[in-house]
Amino acid sequence: MSFLSATLDRVKPSPTIAVTTKAAELKSAGRDIIALGAGEPDFDTPENIAKAGQQAIADGKTRYTAPDGIPELKQAICDKFQRENGLTYTPKQISVGTGGKQILYNALMATLNPGDEVIIPAPYWVSYPDMVLLAGGEPVVVEATLEQDFKMSPDALEAAITPNTKWLIFNSPSNPTGAGYSWDELKALTDVLMRHPHVWVMTDDMYEHLAYDDFTFCTPAQVEPALYDRTLTTNGVSKAYAMTGWRIGYAGGPEHLIAAMRKIQSQSTSNPSSISQWAAVEALNGPQDFLAERADAFKRRRNLVVDAMNAIDGITCPTPEGAFYVYPSIKGLIGKSTPGGTVIDTDETFVSELLETEGVAVVFGAAFGLSPNFRISYATSDAALIEACARISRFCNALQ
Ligand code: GLU
């Protein structure tokens, strides 16, 4: 019998983390690598936020806190939900964790029993299905193709619901496609949920502030207030405030669920870093005007990458509404061969050959549940993006 837990046989390591690690290794070995794998802003954490972290250290705010967050941060989160989403939560309905990841994980651990199903629209963020499996549940993947703009239809949602369905995980704008559901599109989904009172919805609103053109972000409990009592609205400071390394995510939801999540956190990691929590208070309460400026920069980069991808024979790249990812299809390249004779049979082969030949790190589509595609994170400098797109183009044009 293996020394390791049998649960581990059900899951795989995170492919986004694997690509990021591989790119960093190649770089430190002296290779010229452009890393478009990890989804993290290249901007620095704004100065006022970083200073709040330094001040917390200077003030000795370096001790344990309540396991799921300091009162000041919980209040700042309640204010944020009210101000930006029209959602009323009290501090007892707020949980703060070490990144959005821990919040989602705690919620699944706190609610799933063997046989419980969780509906996950694909393409999905790599960690959703594996977190469900770790928590003992069953992921039910509902595919949304490029022709559907990567958005799940109400009929598909309806068809996926069974008596065992516990959650729908809803992520808009989406990692990895950038697809964002409009108010009406989301309302059509919440209408389905209204017909199935046993199904809860767990949102992942991490990309809320990365919305472009005329797309306006909305979240399920806002669009359908009657769902409030069975919604966990999750978010975090990582992407909007360029704070990925600080690890602060949070959620608002029914008190009994928040209490169950606290129980898990109190027996595992305890509180998220006290210093990061104070920085997050400043992020949420401080000036917000730089968010729009940064979104403008991301929009420019999105346009640059979408245009460059669509100019390549064999690649189709829709223009996403938000986040900082694009998810081009490489259907037109499958079956072709590299000059070295490797057949591009899958998107996984495509990305590994691309990394090998041109030093561009991206993530293969199979990791996100829809192939043949790949994900580009364009949260990097314009210069790096221009060079990366030129390399991707050269790589694709060399395929026969
Ligand atoms: N969410 C980011 C990504 O998709 C960070 C890495 C991760 O935690 O998966 O790249």
- The domains found in the chain, sorted by start residue, are 6-44+291-397 (3.90.1150.10), 63-285 (3.40.640.10)
Strands 117-122 and 165-171, by their bridges, are: parallel
Is the pLDDT score of 371 beyond 90? yes
> CA torsion sign, 347 to 349 to 353 to 356?
positive
Is the pLDDT score of 30 beyond 80? yes
Helix (H, G, I), strand (E, B) or coil at 139: strand
Residue nearest to atom 4 of ligand 1 (CA): 39
Please work out whether the CB of residue 175 comes within 6 Å of at least one atom of ligand 1: yes
Spacing, Cα 243 to ligand 1 middle (Å): 13
Ligand 1: nearest atom to the Cα of 126? 9
> CA torsion sign, 69 to 323 to 141 to 13?
negative
The model's pTM: 0.96
Task: Find the DSSP H helices in the chain.
Answer: 15-28, 47-58, 71-85, 99-111, 127-134, 154-160, 183-194, 220-223, 255-266, 274-285, 289-310, 347-358, 382-397
Ligand 1: nearest atom to the Cα of 101? 8
Average of per-residue pLDDT values in the chain:
97
Nearest to 170 by CA among 154, 162, 159: 154
Is the pLDDT score of 215 beyond 90? yes
> CA torsion sign, 42 to 103 to 321 to 360?
positive
User: What pLDDT score was predicted for residue 246?
Assistant: 98
Tokens of 325: 């990812």
User: What pLDDT score was predicted for residue 148?
Assistant: 96
Spacing, Cα 245 to ligand 1 middle (Å): 12
Ligand 1: nearest atom to the Cα of 176? 4
Please work out whether the CB of residue 98 comes within 6 Å of at least one atom of ligand 1: no
User: What pLDDT score was predicted for residue 38?
Assistant: 87
Average pLDDT over residues 28-56: 95
Ligand 1: nearest atom to the Cα of 125? 4
Decide if 202 contacts 168 (C-beta within 8 A).
Answer: yes
* Nearest-angstrom CA–CA distance, 396 and 93: 50
Average pLDDT over residues 36-56: 95
User: What pLDDT score was predicted for residue 384?
Assistant: 96
Decide if 210 contacts 295 (C-beta within 8 A).
Answer: yes
Spacing, Cα 24 to ligand 1 middle (Å): 15
What percentage of the chain reaches a pLDDT higher than 90?
Answer: 96
φ, ψ dihedrals at 217, nearest 5°? -65, 140
Report residue 115's pLDDT band, with 50, 70 and 90 as the boundaries. Answer: very high
Please work out whether the CB of residue 100 comes within 6 Å of at least one atom of ligand 1: no
Is the pLDDT score of 290 beyond 90? yes
Is the pLDDT score of 208 beyond 80? yes
Listed range (18-27, 200-209, 331-340, 377-386) with the worst mean pLDDT: 18-27
Please work out whether the CB of residue 393 comes within 6 Å of at least one atom of ligand 1: no
Is the pLDDT score of 1 beyond 90? no
User: What pLDDT score was predicted for residue 100?
Assistant: 98
Q: Best substitution site from 127, 247, 364 to test ligand 1's pocket, by max atoms within 8 Å of Cβ?
A: 127
Please work out whether the CB of residue 171 comes within 6 Å of at least one atom of ligand 1: no
> CA torsion sign, 268 to 273 to 278 to 284?
negative
Count of positions (residues) in the chain: 400
